Every structure is written in structure tokens, then in C-alpha cells.
Structure 1
Amino acid sequence: MKFLFPKFDKVGMPLLGMVAATLFVLETKRQLRKRTRPRSKRLIENGAVAAASLPALRLVLLPFMYAAASWADKRGFGLMHWLNFPRWARYLAGFVALDYSNYLWHVLLHKSDLLWRFHNVHHIDLDLDLSTAWRFHVGENIASVPYRSGFNALLGVPAPLVLFYEVIFEGCTAFHHTNLRLPFQVERRLCNILVTPRMHGIHHSIVARETNSNFSVIFSCWDRLHRTLRLNVPQDEITIGVPSYRDPAEQSPKNLFLLPFKEQRPWKLPDGSVPERNELPLKELLLP
């Protein structure tokens, strides 16, 4: 199995680093939602989670995904081979198909009780910003290996596309998790194509029907296709997190690592109430 990807490591990773640094500065200067906790503490907490999950992504997930695509390529296996797609079409259609597969994976993370235990580590963050983009439990990254590798093989995407897509995937994940206030009219148009900070902020709401919406990663069309799009929530009315995990003391790196192995709490606030919001009209219209 191949583990060295010079272009990914020497070009893709530094590019992602520059994107992250730029977004960090921008979200500092143009804050979208008010913070509820000190940024420094969250950087330590989220950085500790990322210290385990990012190596798993690079050293386990990426090699397996690349190996699956290479295996399919050499054997003419996969949907795009069976349909006799020319190589250029396999790149174009493959990029779109990979993004759709990750929409489905994200839905599965929310629907599966087992997978949610790991994904919940990402969602109980009490604020949402760039650091949340890498706050994924190492178990979630490892659990995604058979799914994402299997989809690469079944689709028959070119192996180099796996690396290219992952760079764009990580960059877009960083972008839409930021606490960056874009000009509203710009974002209203942009979210017709891409997932944006306001759109994804709704996904991190403590209101259940809002959390179970906006699953897309790069292209927002998948939520439109499956009618899981929800844009009609004012940003200043969103409370970030999971209702049953509101205690900042539970955000310690040790507790975050152990969280999937503990009993999961029902979707209720500490006082026993369930967060709700009156449904506004025009569900697909982005609000400020």
C-alpha cells in the first residue's frame, strides 16, 4: 500500500495551511456569531482532538482510499469503467460523485446510533469556528475508512482524483466551519452552489430539526435534492452545540476522547426541555 504522496504533502498540505491561516485571520476580524467561551481554551481542546484524528486521516484513511481507487483502476472495476467513461469524464463525474458520497456519509453519521457516538464529539463544541473543522474523534476517521474506500472502488474514480478531492474537501470543511461574516448578499448567492458558514452554522444548532439539515460538504445541491436544506434561521438566534452537553467542564480532551464509550444523553436541555423554534416560511431562503 502506498503511503507517500509527494504532491499532496508538498503542495496540498501547505496550501491547506495557507487557507487555514487566512480563514483564522478573517474570522478574527469579521465575527459572525458571538463567542460563548474563550478562544484560547477551545484551541487547546480542539487541537488535542485533532492531534489524534489528523494523523489517522493522513496515515490510515488517505492511503486506504487511494489503494481502493488504484485497485479498481487496474482491474477496470467500478461504475465509471462499466459505463466506459473517458478518463476526463471520470475526473469530472468522479469529483461530483465523491462529494455526493460524503453527503450520504454525513447523513449516516447522524442516523446511526453507533456512528453518532463518535460524531457527537464534533457537535458538542459550544462555539463554531475554524478549530471545529478538525475536531473529529479519531474513531470517526477510522470508521470512515471502509465506507469512503469502498465508494472509491465502486465508483471507479481515478486514484489521483482521490488526493485532489481530499484537498478541496478539507479546504471547504475549514471554510464552512469558520465564524466568518461574509457580506450577506455575497453569501446568499454563494450558498446556491457551495456550503457557507451561515448555512453550516444552522447544522450545529441545538434545535434537532436544524441539526438534521444541511449535511452537504462542498456542493449545497445535495441538500436541495434530498430536501434537507434549511436556511431560514437567523444567525443571532442560533445556539451552537448539543442540548444535553452544555457544561464547559465536559469539553476537556480526556472527556472528548471517552465520550463515544459513555451512555449518550437524550436530546434535552439540563432542565429537561427540548429546544424548539417557530418555523419561519421560505425554508430555502438564507436569512442574515
Structure 2
Amino acid sequence: MRILFPKFDKIGMPLLGVAAAAFFLLETKRQLRSRTRPRPERLLENGSVAATALPALRLLLVPAMFAAARLANKHRFGLLKRLGLPQWVRYTAGFLLLDYTNYLWHVLLHKSDILWRFHNVHHIDLDLDLSTAWRFHVGENIASVPYRSVAIALLGVPAPLVLFYEVIFEGCTAFHHSNLRLPYQVERQLCKVMVTPRMHGIHHSIVARETNSNFSVIFSWWDRLHQSLRLNVPQDEITIGVPAYRDPKEQSVKHLFLMPFERQRPWHLPDGTVPERVAHSPQEELLP
């Protein structure tokens, strides 16, 4: 299985580094939501989780996805290959379908009790910013290997597109997790096409119906298609996290690694109440 991808590593990764540095500086100067915990503590915690998750992504997930695409291409296997489409159509459709399969994967992470154990490590962060974009348990990245590889093979996506999509995927993940306050009117228009910080902030709310919405990664169209879009929540009313995990002491690196193997708690606050909110309408209208 091929491990080295010169263009991905020499062009894609540096571009992601520049984008991350820009988001880090911008979210410092233009903060969307007030922080509840010291930033250095969270950078240490989230960085420690990412220190195992990112190598698994680069050394296992990316090579596996590329290998699946190359094998499917070689044997003329997969939907797009069978249709005999022009190259530009195949690449365009492939990009869109890759994003759609990742929407479905994100939904599955929330619906499957086993997968949620790992994904919950990402959601119990008490703040949401750029560092949360890489706070994924290594087990979640490993679990995504068979799903994403099989999806790529079944679609017959061109192998080079897999690497290009992954760069855009990671860049958009960093963008919409950032705590960046964009001009409201700009973001209101932007979220009609792609996932934005305000849109994804709702996904990290402690209100269950808000957490179980806005699953898209790049294009917001998939949430509109499946009626899982929710934009009508004012940002200053959002409490980030999971209700049963409100103690900052549980954000320790040790607990984050062991949490998937512990008994999962019901979706309520420590005092037993379930967070709710009176919904504004219409649901598809982004609020400041």
C-alpha cells in the first residue's frame, strides 16, 4: 500500500498549515462565542488527542482510501467508472459524492452507539474552536477506514481526486470548527452553499435536536436534502458540549482516551434536567 504522496505532502499539507494559522489568528481577533476555559489548557488537551489521531489519518486512512480508489480504477469498478462519463463530469460528480458519503458517515457516528462512544470525545469539548477540528479519538479515525474506503471503491472515484478532496475536507473542517465571527450577512449567504462556523456551532450544542442536525462537512446541501438543517439558534444562546460531561476535570487527556470504553451517560445535565430550547422559526433562517 502506497504511503508517500509528494503533492499531498509538499503542497496540500503546507496549504492546510497556512489556512490553520490564518484561522487561529482570525478567531483570536474576531471571536464568535465567549470562551469558558483557558485556551492554553484546551490546546494541550486537544493537541494531545490529535497527536495520535492525525498520524492514523495520514498513515492509515489516506493510504487506504487511495489504494481503494486505485484498485477500483484499475479493474474499472465502481459507479462513475461504469457510466463512462467525461473526465470533468467524473471528477465533479466524484467530489460531490465523496462529500455526500461523509455526510452519511457523520450521521452514522451519531446514530450508532458504538461509534458515538468515540465521536463523543470530539463533542464533550466545552468550547469550540480550531483545536476542536483535530480533537478526534484515534479509534474514530481507524473506524472510518473501512467505511470511507468501501464508499470510494463503490463510487469508482479517480484516485487523484481522493487526495484533492481530503485537503479541501480538512480545510473546511478547520474553517467551520473555528471560533471565527464572520460578518453576519456574509455568513448568511455563505451557509446556503457550505458549512460555516455559526452553522456548525449549532451542531455542538448541548440541546439534543441541535446536536443531531447540521451533519454536512463541506456543502450544506446534504442537510437541506435530508431536512437535518437547523440554523435558527442565536449564537449567544448556545452552550457547547454534551450535557452529562460538564466537569472540566473530565477533559484530561487520560479520560479522553479511555472514555469510549466507559459506560456512556444519558443525555441530561448532572442535576437530571434535559436541555431544551424554544425553537425560533423558520428553521432554515440563520440567526446572528
TM-score category, normalised to shorter length:
over 0.9
Aligned positions of 1:186-201 closer than 5 A: 186-201=186-201
Query: Does residue 226 in structure 1 map to residue 234 in structure 2?
Result: no
Aligned positions of 1:154-169 closer than 5 A: 154-169=154-169
Q: Post-superposition shift, 1:87? A: 2.0
Residue equivalent to 2:8: 8
Residue equivalent to 1:17: 17
- Alignment-mate amino acid for residue 223 of structure 1: D
CA distance in 2: counterparts of 1:29 and 1:279, whole angstroms: 30
Residue equivalent to 1:112: 112
Residue equivalent to 1:123: 123
Residue equivalent to 2:182: 182
CA distance in 2: counterparts of 1:227 and 1:89, whole angstroms: 27
In angstroms, what is the RMSD of aligned CA positions?
A: 0.4
CA distance in 1: counterparts of 2:12 and 2:283, whole angstroms: 36
Q: Post-superposition shift, 1:41? A: 0.1
Identity over aligned residues, as a percent? Answer: 78
Q: Post-superposition shift, 1:18? A: 0.1
SS of the counterpart of 2:125?
Answer: coil
Query: Does residue 54 in structure 1 map to residue 39 in structure 2?
Result: no
CA distance in 2: counterparts of 1:205 and 1:197, whole angstroms: 13
Aligned positions of 1:1-288 closer than 5 A: 1-288=1-288
CA distance in 2: counterparts of 1:146 and 1:221, whole angstroms: 25
Deviations 1:190-248 (CA, angstroms, capped at 9, x unpaired): 00001000000000000000000000000000000000000000000000000000000
Would you say how many aligned residue pairs link Structure 1 and Structure 2? 288
Gaps of 5+ in 2: none
CA distance in 2: counterparts of 1:80 and 1:163, whole angstroms: 17
SS of the counterpart of 2:56?
Answer: helix
SS of the counterpart of 1:256?
Answer: helix
CA distance in 1: counterparts of 2:15 and 2:83, whole angstroms: 34
CA distance in 2: counterparts of 1:93 and 1:255, whole angstroms: 41
SS of the counterpart of 2:96?
Answer: helix
Deviations 1:83-117 (CA, angstroms, capped at 9, x unpaired): 11222211110000000000000000000000000
CA distance in 2: counterparts of 1:84 and 1:20, whole angstroms: 38
CA distance in 2: counterparts of 1:82 and 1:285, whole angstroms: 40
- Alignment-mate amino acid for residue 128 of structure 2: L
CA distance in 2: counterparts of 1:230 and 1:250, whole angstroms: 29
CA distance in 1: counterparts of 2:85 and 2:78, whole angstroms: 11
CA distance in 2: counterparts of 1:122 and 1:85, whole angstroms: 39
SS of the counterpart of 2:175?
Answer: helix
CA distance in 1: counterparts of 2:109 and 2:82, whole angstroms: 30
Deviations 1:55-78 (CA, angstroms, capped at 9, x unpaired): 000000000000000000000000
Provide the TM-score with structure 1 as the length reference: 1.00
Gaps of 5+ in 1: none
CA distance in 2: counterparts of 1:103 and 1:42, whole angstroms: 27
